[in-house]
Structures are given as structure tokens and as C-alpha cells.
Structure 1
Amino acid sequence: MESKNSDTEGAPLIPTTPGNEFPSQLRRAIAVVLVAALSFVEGVSMSLPGPFFPPRATDHGISQTQIGIVSGSCDVANLCFSFIIGSLISPSNKKAVFLTGTFISSAALVLFGLLDYVIDDRIYFVLCILTRIVNGVGVSMVYAMMILIPSTCFPQKAALMNSFIQTIFGVGMFCGPVFGSILIPIGGYETPFISLGIMEAVLSVLGIIIIPAFPADKKTEKKIKNSKPIGYLHLLVRFSTISILLPTGVVFLFSGFRDTAYVLHYQEVTGLAANIVGILFVANSLTAAITGFVVGVLTQKGYAISVMILAHVLTPLTTFAMFVPYFLPKIETRGWAVLILVMNGISVDAAVNPSYLLLQKAAIRNGERNIDQVRKFASSSFMIIFCSGRIVGAAIVGGYLNELVGFYFTSLIYTMVAIVTVTWHIVFLVKSGFIGKVYFDTEEDIAEDIASDN
């Protein structure tokens, strides 16, 4: 069904203007594979510091709260820069934004690994924050384009592209702890960071050659320029948007909490070495890698809401499982830790695709009629809540609150908050009529949404 109000109706995502012929299917396929490879590296870089940085930081005299600040600083920069990226993205600069972000991210990774040679603990702490901030800037640029570029190459297979990239990203997260556990004993703490940074830089150079440019023709630019998209902040503060973002942020909060508090707590309780704990954390990443594709397929088939509810229900169950050893200390075994990490892997992965989809629906229901603007809003808003959740989880919950009341009672508080937000989210979905089959963001789906909402 065609939308009469879409300002980009009929405009090809890769237009065929003179000197800019439509890239061949082979080149577009190779470009998607390259983007997937870079998303794999980003996944590795996200999960790599979790099991290894906190123990190393304590050797430099860094406190639990300071570890949370360092872990959260990357996401703070990612969050702040996401607002800028949301307004800067255009059909003509997707490639430039993406590759600039990968170069920045690769340099920050190398520098972060080399910081282990800094002797002064105060300088070490400050430099850790600075390098993570720089990395956050690069990551925000990469994440914003990671899905948009493949869906631009194959616009009629947007859902499939999203599932593919999310799965590869999950595989990267799976490999992060393994990568560190193998390379750190061989070459030292800095080895995996330097190796990963060099790998990303090489792939970025290849991207300059392989990824096609996406300039819009003058007619398309005029249409977008003459359209009157709803203000970004106006969409962001609507009740429907907040009812999606805040409960979802509570799900993503676990990642920051896990990386700053759970890894140290588990080491302290079990006495296991950091590389052994890192191998246990593979359970989390492996689950994310497996469920990423499954969630993508279910979302494409219209079951996004059921998947989203699963994510919200699993979160309080997971955090309560972390509290149970307070009464039953003997239950805190390796098997119990793997169970917690598997449950978390499922819940976080189950929230990614559906939340992106629901944010698109919210933008349309609140009056946005430009398909390009709908996608930009969903992408940047998702990154905002993803980063916000990790920031709160790392700096406030895993850092300050954990030091204040202890790990077990922090888990209990988190459980109660998650119960409240999951209830809020389910009530919102029911009252908004989202219960049932809800489909993903192909051009036709968005056009039908816009038409039906008129």
C-alpha cells in the first residue's frame, strides 16, 4: 500500500544519477559483508573489557565506583554524540560517518590497551576515561550506520539485513572474552586491544574502496528539504516513546551492572582467575550470538511484541537469581553463573530488534511522515537508551549503589525496579493496541503504517 504523504515516495535509496550508477548486487553484497566484519569487531570490543579491565584496574588502585565511571564513560560519549548523529545523518554521508567512526574506534582501542604501562594511578584513571570517551564517539557513529548501510544496499530485505548484522555483532560479543583469554596470557593485557584496533583499521581502509557512496539525487534532496519532519526532541519526550525507552533501558542496564560489579563479585566469591571468569562470560555472548538470528526471524514474522515481553520478564528473574545466593551461598557455583549469563544474553538480545521496531511505530503514531526521518529517529533513540542503560548500570548501580549496600541488595533493588517497569511496559503495549503481530521496517510496511495512521 503506497503512502501519499511520504516525502521519499519513489525515491531510490541508491539513486541512479549520472556518475553514480546503481552498484551491482555483488558489490553491495561485499559491502554488507564488510560492514558485518566491522560490526563483529565492535562486538568483540564491547565484550572484551568486561572480564579483564576491572581486575586490572584494581591493581592500579582504582575503586569500584571509579571502575564504573570508566566503564560508563564510553557510553556517556556514545549517548551525547547520538543526539548529534541523529541530526547529521543524510543519504549522502552514511559511508563517511560510518568509516570515520571505525577509524576513531580503532585508535581508541589501541590507546586503551597501552594505558597499562602508565605508572601513576591518577593519570591512569584520567586517561582511561579520556580514551573511553573517544571510543564512545567512534562507536556512536558506527552503531548508527551499522544497520542503515546494509538496509540501504538491500532496502527490500531490511529485516533480514538487521537480523544478519545483529547476529554477527552477537558472535563478536561471544568472541570477546575468548579473544582476551587467549591473547592476554600470550602477549600481555594490551595484546587483544592492540590486535583488535589494527584489525578494525585495516577493515576501515578496505571500506573506503568497497562500500559504495550513497548520495541522493537533487530531486530526493529537495523532497527531504521541503518536508517538515517532527522535531526530534518532540518525538523523544512523547509518552509513547518514553514508555518504550525507559523499560527497555532497565533491560540494557544489566550490561553495565554485569561488567562492573558481577565480574568482581564472582571472582571474590569463587577465587577464580580473571581469564577463567572470562571464559565463563562466553556463556552470555554465545547466547546473544545464537538468539540474535532467532529474534530477528521472529521479529520479521511479526512476533516482536512476544519477544519484547520475554526480554522484560527475564530481566527481573535474572537479577533475582543473583540475589538468591544471599540466602543459599552454596548455590553460587559455575553452573549458577552460567545460568544467569545465559538468561541475560537472551533478555538483552530479545530487546534489540523489537525496541527498534516499536520506536519506528511510535514516531509514525506521533505524526512523522518521512520514512528516512522515521528510521533515523528509531536508530538514534535506540542508541540513546542502550547507552543510558549501560551508563546507569555501570556508574550508578554497579558502582555507587553496589559500594553502598553491597552486591546482593543491589541485585534485589534492581529486581524490584525491573518488576515495576515490565508491568508498565506490558500495560502500555496492551493499551496501545500493540499486542498481536507487528511487522518490521520494509518500505512497504512503513508506508502501510503511515497510511493506516492517517
Structure 2
Amino acid sequence: MEGVGATAKKAHNLSKPMLIYAFTVVTVVLALAFMLYSLPAPFLPLYHADRNVSSVWDGVILGVVPVGFLISCAPTAQLMENFNYKPLLMTGSGTLGIIFIINSFFNRITNNTLYIVLSGIFRVVAGIAIGLVSVPSFGVLTKMIPTRVAFVTALAEAALNGAQAFGPFMGSLLYDAGGYSLAFWGPGIIIACCVLLEFTIPRVNTLPDQTDTNDSMKVYKDPWIMMAAWHCAACQILLYFHLPTLAPFVERALGETVVWTGLALLVNTSTIIISAPPLGWLIDRFNPYFFVMFSAVILPFLYMFIGPIPLFHVATSKMQVMLVLALLGFFVPMGCTPILLIMFEVYKLRNGGEMSISASNTIVSVYCSCFPLGACIGSFAAGILSLYIPFEESTGGLGFIFIAQSIFSFIYCWKIRDMKKDKTIEERKPLLG
């Protein structure tokens, strides 16, 4: 097995202009895929109400996309053992575009049962396509700039989280302008056309050596890596839980339309985009565990105020909802961005300070699976709980539950600190170079 330093040196030989071009194309495609991920969130509950579809199906139809994404992550990592990133990226974006274009005709289906079944199936396939975009994207981005993993991760997360939060705003505008059909076929054509752009980007080696192909099992069997991944997923639950039910809450409590809901989520987008790059820069240079612990302290109490929970006797206002969403856009990425760096470091701590391309690809796939896992749990839970618990109480209760996750995060980071005392690894040295 080769050390990661050797792997990094031969990751690519691109000139700076070609590196910037490839990095830009991959990041833009990743962002577009995640925009389509969340685009139906604000208008789908309203569309379902018009055609007498139960609100339970709001969470299900929105939630099955991350199920498909989650299903595809591990197989995509295995595909990367034999295929370079370009064909996988092109297949994923092309499939996603076709699925959205076909989905635009579903408003012509008059039978609600058939509509629900087909929507669920096609949304699962869309999730699988997003996984085919996401895993190769993160895999190649960390190999393009291997000495700045957290910074690259932060830029990618800024793009995908920003686009993901911008998606509801775009969806609400398209739905308001042209109804259900336009909200699907318009973005679908854009992502499908990206295949032509992806064809022009240069090749970067994402194929492992044959001697390294068994290293993926070391990742899956390591509980320390999986515990870090779970924290990332838990943070994503907070980012997704309110999405299926925010628009009805805004209409009921604030008397505002779906466009205002999209605008509120756009504020969340802006915070992510502005804060993620400097946050990644700081994480690369300082202790990533501090950022995980700091966000773990803030997030549970912050989420109690998105409603806010009646226990605090705080009146609901537009400013309060906007402010909480803006702060979530800062503290959720703070809890997620360091995780890939931590997973790389933990693997090296437990495997003699070395990491092969195969292990790196597998860790990236596990990291990518954290997003759909959190989204799946958050969306499904929100849809079901909306039948029994008001928005204010469900979000506030989730904040209380997250306190246990915060305690778990502190214990985990402390144990890693003890583990590092016995290992010779420089804490601030770039992990992949």
C-alpha cells in the first residue's frame, strides 16, 4: 500500500487554468444536482393539498429522494474501483435530467394512488442519480487539491447546501409562474445539458491500485469512522426536518405565501455561501474537533427557536424565523465540514498513518451518504409528526433530543484526543499531502 503523500503527488498533472476549469464544472454540476434535490419542497405540500393528497405523502415523496441517494453511495464507491469519475458523473446528471423532465407530466395523472406510486419510484431513481453525481464529485475534488481537504469540502458544501437551500426558492418561483410542470421540466433540461460540459473536463486519476481494493472494508468496519459520519447525519436532520412543513407553518402563523418561505430559505443559502469558504480555511489550519464541539453546543438551542417552542413563550415573527434560518446556515456546516477531515485522520490514526485511494474513495462515499441519511430521517419524521404535533412543538422537541447528540460529540472528540496521544501524527499537517 502506498502512503497518501505518494497518492496525492500523482493525483493529477493539470495546469492551473485546467484545474480551475475542472473544479468549476464539477462543483457547478454538484450544485445543480442538489438544487433539484430540494426544489419541490415548498410547493409540493400545496400542490398535494389542491389534489387532496394526505400530508403524510409530502414527507414520503420528499423523503424517498435521500433513500435513493443513500442506496447509491456504497455501490458508487465500488464502481469507482473500476471506472473513472467522468462516466459516472455524466451518467448521474443525464439520468437526473431525464427523470425530472418525465416527472413534469405527472400532473396529468388523475388517479392519486398512481400519482403517489410513480412519484415515489421516480424520486428514488432521482436520488440514485444524485448519488452518482455526489460521490465521484467529492472524490475527484479532494484529489484535485489534496492538501486542503477541509477547504475543498467547505467549497463543495457551500455549493451543494447553497443550491439545496436555493432550490425551494427557485421551485416556488417556477411553481408560481408556470405551475407543477414548469417547476420540473425547466431544471431538468438544464442538468441534462450539463453532460456536454462534463465531457470536456480533463481526466483526473480516481482509480485505486489493485492492491488497495480491500481497504474499503477497513472503512466500513471501523466504528470510529462511522461515529463521525453519524454526527454529520445528525446535523443534516436539523437542516431537513423543517423543510416539508415550513410553508404551511408560515401560511398559518405569519400569513405569508410560499414565495416568502422560499425567500426565508434563500437567507439560509446566503449564510452558507458566505461562511463556508472561510470556515473551511480555518478548519484546515486549526483543530477540526473544536468546530464540531462548538456547533454541537449551539445547534440544539438554536433549533428550539425556529418555531419557537411554546415553552419559551416567544412570539413567532418573520424576523425570528429569518434569523434562525440564517444561523442554521452557519452552524450546521460548522458541524459537517470538519467531518471528512476527521474521518481521514481517524483512518490514518488506526492504519499506520497511510491511506490509499480506495480507502479515500470509500470514506468519501460514507461522508456523502450522511447527507441523504439525515435528509431521509428528517423528511419522513416531519411528514408523519405533522399529523399529530404542531410545527413549533416538533422542531422544539427535536432541539431537546439533539442535546444528547451534543454530549455524544463531546465524548467522541475527547476519545480521539486520547487516541492521538499515542500516535505520531502531526495535527495541523495536511492529511493528504
TM-score using structure 1 length: 0.85
**1:272 CA drift (Å):** 1.8
Aligned to 1:358: 342
Q: Deviations over 1:140-169 (max 9, x none)?
A: 011102222233334445544333333333
The 1:227–1:131 alpha-carbon spacing in structure 2 relative to 1, beyond 3 Å, is closer
State whether residues 151 and 277 of structure 2, in contact with CA within 8 Å, keep that contact through their aligned partners in structure 1: no
State whether residues 8 and 146 of structure 2, in contact with CA within 8 Å, keep that contact through their aligned partners in structure 1: no
Aligned to 2:201: 211
Matches within 5 A, 1:12-411: 12-14=9-11, 22-90=13-81, 92-208=83-199, 210-214=200-204, 224-227=209-212, 229-232=214-217, 235-322=219-306, 324-327=308-311, 331-367=315-351, 369-395=354-380, 397-411=381-395
For the residue of structure 1 that corresponds to 2:142, the secondary structure is helix
| In 2, Cα distance between equivalents of 1:145 and 1:302 | 27
Range that drifts further, 325-334 or 247-256? 325-334
What percentage of residue pairs aligned between the two structures are identical? 16
**1:78 CA drift (Å):** 0.8
User: Which one-letter code corresponds to 2:330 in the other structure?
Assistant: I
The 1:162–1:11 alpha-carbon spacing in structure 2 relative to 1, beyond 3 Å, is closer
State whether residues 325 and 332 of structure 1, in contact with CA within 8 Å, keep that contact through their aligned partners in structure 2: no
State whether residues 169 and 289 of structure 1, in contact with CA within 8 Å, keep that contact through their aligned partners in structure 2: no
Instruction: Tell me, yes or no, if structure 1 residue 443 matches structure 2 residue 432.
Output: yes
The 1:119–1:201 alpha-carbon spacing in structure 2 relative to 1, beyond 3 Å, is same
For the residue of structure 2 that corresponds to 1:189, the secondary structure is helix
User: Which one-letter code corresponds to 1:422 in the other structure?
Assistant: S
**1:334 CA drift (Å):** 0.8
Structure 2: runs of 5+ lacking an equivalent: none
User: Which one-letter code corresponds to 1:112 in the other structure?
Assistant: N
For the residue of structure 2 that corresponds to 1:131, the secondary structure is helix
Range that drifts further, 407-416 or 73-82? 407-416
Match of 2:410 among 396, 403, 426: 426
Q: Deviations over 1:311-368 (max 9, x none)?
A: 3223211321135452567711111111221122122221232111112123223338
| In 2, Cα distance between equivalents of 1:126 and 1:145 | 30
Aligned length: 427
| In 2, Cα distance between equivalents of 1:406 and 1:380 | 36
User: Which one-letter code corresponds to 2:399 in the other structure?
Assistant: T
Q: Deviations over 1:355-412 (max 9, x none)?
A: 11112123223338433133223211112222111111111x2022332344333224
User: Which one-letter code corresponds to 2:103 in the other structure?
Assistant: F
| In 2, Cα distance between equivalents of 1:409 and 1:161 | 37
State whether residues 7 and 227 of structure 1, in contact with CA within 8 Å, keep that contact through their aligned partners in structure 2: no
**1:260 CA drift (Å):** 1.6
The 1:199–1:155 alpha-carbon spacing in structure 2 relative to 1, beyond 3 Å, is same
| In 2, Cα distance between equivalents of 1:206 and 1:253 | 33
The 1:99–1:356 alpha-carbon spacing in structure 2 relative to 1, beyond 3 Å, is same
For the residue of structure 1 that corresponds to 2:286, the secondary structure is coil
The 1:175–1:385 alpha-carbon spacing in structure 2 relative to 1, beyond 3 Å, is closer
For the residue of structure 2 that corresponds to 1:119, the secondary structure is coil
For the residue of structure 1 that corresponds to 2:41, the secondary structure is helix
Structure 1: runs of 5+ lacking an equivalent: 16-21, 445-454
Range that drifts further, 303-312 or 149-158? 149-158
State whether residues 155 and 443 of structure 1, in contact with CA within 8 Å, keep that contact through their aligned partners in structure 2: yes
Give the alignment's Cα RMSD to 1 decimal.
2.9
TM-score using structure 2 length: 0.88
For the residue of structure 1 that corresponds to 2:346, the secondary structure is helix
For the residue of structure 1 that corresponds to 2:304, the secondary structure is helix
State whether residues 272 and 329 of structure 2, in contact with CA within 8 Å, keep that contact through their aligned partners in structure 1: yes
The 1:111–1:288 alpha-carbon spacing in structure 2 relative to 1, beyond 3 Å, is farther
| In 1, Cα distance between equivalents of 2:181 and 2:295 | 35
| In 2, Cα distance between equivalents of 1:433 and 1:158 | 20
User: Which one-letter code corresponds to 2:232 in the other structure?
Assistant: T
| In 1, Cα distance between equivalents of 2:7 and 2:371 | 33
User: Which one-letter code corresponds to 1:164 in the other structure?
Assistant: L
| In 1, Cα distance between equivalents of 2:275 and 2:402 | 22
**1:10 CA drift (Å):** 5.7
The 1:42–1:64 alpha-carbon spacing in structure 2 relative to 1, beyond 3 Å, is same
The 1:433–1:156 alpha-carbon spacing in structure 2 relative to 1, beyond 3 Å, is closer
The 1:195–1:163 alpha-carbon spacing in structure 2 relative to 1, beyond 3 Å, is same
State whether residues 166 and 266 of structure 2, in contact with CA within 8 Å, keep that contact through their aligned partners in structure 1: yes
